[in-house]
Each structure stands twice: as C-alpha cells, then as structure tokens.
Amino acid sequence: MAKKEIQENKKSKIESDSKKFKVLLVDDHPIVRQGLAQTINAQNDLIVCGEAEDAHRALEAIGSLNPDVALVDISLKGMNGLELIKNIKVHYPKFPVVVLSMHDETLYAQRVLKAGAKGFIMKHEAGDKVLLALRRALNGEIYLSEKMSSRLLHQLVDGRSEGGLSPLEQLSDRELEVFQLIGHGRGTSQIAKELHLSVKTVESYRANIKEKMKIGSAPELVQHATQWVQNAM
C-alpha cells in the first residue's frame, strides 16, 4: 500500500474516532474496565478515551482528556464513587456521570442521583443497558431500571417519609461509607485515616449507625456490616 494511502487511512480513522463521544472508565478492577472498553469501543458513536482506578486519577483524567461522559463504580480506593460525583459536580457542573455498581440499586440509586449522577446500573445488567444509560446521559436524560423508576414514582406519589425506609436507607452517605468500611474489616482508627476524619467523628458515626439499625453492640455491628459486604460481592 502506498505511503500516501496509509496516511489517508490513518487520517480517516482519526476523523472517525473524533466524531465519537468519549467515555472515561473509573473502576478499580482492570478486568472490569477491559470488558467495558471492549463493549463500548465496538460502538459507532462511543469510544473509551481513558481509564482511572481511583477518584484522584479520575479527576485528573477529566481535566486532561476532556471526556464527554464518565462511567463510575461506587467502590473505589480512597474517595468512593459518591464523593467523586460530588467533587465532579463542583468542578465540572455539566459533566454527566453514570454509576455502574454491584451494590443494590434500592440503596444507592437515589443517593447517586442526589449527588449529581445521570444514572445507575447494576453490574449484572447486560451490556446494552450500559450503552443505553451512557447515551441517555449524553442527551441530558436520566437512566434507571424500570423497577427502580417505578419504586421512586411510588415514593413520590405515596409521599413516603423516612419512617418507611429500611434501616440501611436511613443512613447518611457518610454513615453508609463507614458501615461499608467496617464490613471490610477496618477499625475505627483505620477508617478515620482513610476518610481523613478524627477518631471521635468516626465513633460518632458508628453510634449513629447502631442507633438507626437498632444494633446493640460493636461486635454485632461488625457482624451486620461484614454480612452486608459479603452479600454485595
């Protein structure tokens, strides 16, 4: 093939890719990112422009790669996905984020929407749902499963108060994060260091969690948290 023809083919590919919406993948599991990249890059309108394994790298990538949308996991090392979304909204208010997580949508979907995300997908969902969610987010729309959309509509119509929420749903975002870290075997000092909080503040969160979940002792709290984390995996 002539040199000129090769150059023209390369130029054509660059122009083709430039017409695609750029997706940033944020997940701390390389295999998950690889699978998502294969699915997304096979599309005519989407392409993965970068990957990040934690929130810090994700924020850097948004600034340097200028993606059109991000697909973010909740469970990240250091700052979790919820906090990342809140940070993104401060620095990039119009940037759309879709959450892809193994965690129960009934517990997290409403939280991520309040944080500023455009959608929530469970990791067991088929790849076409991920693509649909990304495209809706790029169009400024919200994506939730039919089940979750119906649940939220019923809550709105029924005017359900916090008294009708499950104990886990009553936890604040930070309390839920502490509960999750307890389930991963972290002690109070470790949690304080990881979340950049004082030990006293973490102890206060632990007390609030026990009260809301009607848990009587520290060992029982660890047992509940560990079981919840194991069920989510």
Alpha carbons 102 and 121: distance in angstroms, whole number: 9
Q: What string of H, E and C letters represents the secondary structure of 190-223?
A: HHHHHHCCCHHHHHHHHHHHHHHCCCCCHHHHHH
Please choose, from the candidates 117, 139, 121, 124, the residue with its C-alpha nearest in 3D space to the C-alpha of residue 70.
117
Domains delineated in the chain:
9-153 (3.40.50.2300), 163-232 (1.10.10.10)
pTM as predicted: 0.76
| Residue that is written with structure tokens 């909740």 in the block | 74
Instruction: Check the CA dihedral 112-194-64-8 and report its sign.
Output: negative
Please choose, from the candidates 177, 175, 180, the residue with its C-alpha nearest in 3D space to the C-alpha of residue 211.
175
Mean pLDDT of the chain: 85
Q: What is the mean pLDDT of residues 15-34?
A: 86
- Classified as helix, coil or strand, 94 is coil
Residue 195 pLDDT exceeds 90: no
Instruction: Supply the pLDDT for residue 59.
Output: 95
Residue 7 pLDDT exceeds 50: no
